[in-house]
């Protein structure tokens, strides 16, 4: 696809870059990308806003990034605006709230230690970011999660579920960490993954002795998966800059391609906004 990328293409590519832990420091240290993501929080398209928030959520997983992100001009205020905006979808508000709480607590080492201790005490499932009582985290072991094409199928399936806030893939171990509303059943995730016809999910939980246990979802589960109609689908693969696998920037060790795309995104942002 020729020509300059549009806002959706740029924010989706930044989201995909941020999904790779190897890229997160570079994005935050870049002069234009982090501030550009903040400006996307006020974009008229709900999809652009959600994708920008998801990118920032990925960046916040790197603890060394959090203090800089918190101090970035407009970050905390823009997150508050998304949380308070009446037209923001519920999942968007929850995601903004989660990011706000993570960054707000970034300077407190004691808070991080308490959060980690609380996570270890949970029995039956993993809870990450325990400060947000309206959300919970489910870890999925996905049989068949073998490549980027299968990952895209998972993304599409999860994004259609009303109540999914965010998710992170760990391709090396075929896992997906999904942040969901507290009232959404984990079985809905298993149903969505099974609907791809190529993959099957199990929920990873901790046993009494601290060891991991993979629990299969019932194949004949009657859990109703409520479709998410507030957010449009992500950019189709035939329009996405990440379609060409030999140029993919989200695979491990892809920093050279990632830095190149960061430069493109930063140039686009600098031309599109007044700072």
What's the pLDDT tens digit per position in 141-169? 999 998 888 888 888 888 888 888 888 88
Q: Are 176 and 159 contacting, i.e. CB atoms less than 8 angstroms apart?
A: no
The CATH code belonging to domain 135-216 is: 3.30.70.100
> Is the Cα torsion angle 135, 24, 45, 238 positive or negative in sign?
negative
Angle at 132 between CA 145 and CA 181, to 5 degrees: 50
d(CA 264, CA 259): 9
pLDDT of residue 87: 86
Q: Can you list the residues of the chain whose pLDDT is less than 70?
A: 1-5, 107-133, 219-275
What is residue 16's predicted lDDT score, i.e. its pLDDT? 87
For the chain, the maximum distance between any two Cα atoms, rounded to a whole number of angstroms, is: 56
pLDDT, position 8: 86
For 105-146, what is each residue's pLDDT tens digit? Answer: 876 554 555 555 544 444 333 333 444 557 788 889 999 998
Q: Which of 36, 47, 187, 63 is nearest to 128 (CA)?
A: 63
Task: Tokens 């892809």: give the residue.
Answer: 254
Q: Exposed, middle or buried by CB within 10 Å (0-12, 13-18, 19+), for 57? A: buried
pLDDT of residue 110: 45
Q: Where are the domains of the chain?
A: 7-110, 135-216
């Amino acid at each position: 696809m020729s020509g300059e990328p549009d806002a959706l293409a740029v924010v989706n590519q930044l989201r995909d870059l941020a999904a790779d832990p190897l890229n997160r420091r570079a994005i935050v240290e870049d002069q234009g990308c982090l501030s550009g993501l903040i400006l996307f929080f006020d974009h008229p398209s709900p999809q652009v806003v959600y994708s920008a928030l998801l990118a920032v959520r990925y960046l916040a997983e790197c603890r060394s990034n959090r203090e800089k992100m918190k101090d970035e001009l407009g970050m905390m205020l823009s997150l508050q605006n998304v949380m308070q905006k009446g037209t923001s979808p519920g999942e968007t508000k929850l995601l903004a709230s989660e990011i706000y709480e993570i960054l707000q607590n970034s300077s407190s080492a004691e808070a991080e230690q308490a959060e980690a201790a609380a996570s270890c005490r949970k029995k039956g499932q993993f809870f990450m970011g325990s400060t947000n009582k309206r959300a919970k985290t489910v870890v999925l072991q996905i049989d068949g999660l073998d490549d980027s094409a299968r990952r895209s199928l998972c993304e599409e399936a999860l994004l259609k579920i009303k109540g999914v806030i965010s998710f992170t893939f760990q391709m090396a171990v075929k896992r997906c960490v999904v942040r969901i509303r507290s009232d959404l059943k984990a079985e809905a995730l298993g149903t969505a993954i099974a609907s791809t016809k190529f993959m099957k999910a199990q929920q990873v939980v901790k046993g009494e002795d601290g060891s991991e246990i993979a629990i299969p979802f019932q194949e004949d589960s009657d859990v109703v998966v409520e479709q998410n109609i507030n957010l449009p689908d992500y950019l189709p693969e035939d329009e996405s800059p990440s379609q060409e696998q030999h140029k993919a920037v989200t695979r491990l060790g892809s920093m050279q391609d990632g830095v190149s795309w960061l430069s493109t995104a930063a140039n686009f942002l600098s031309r599109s906004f007044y700072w």
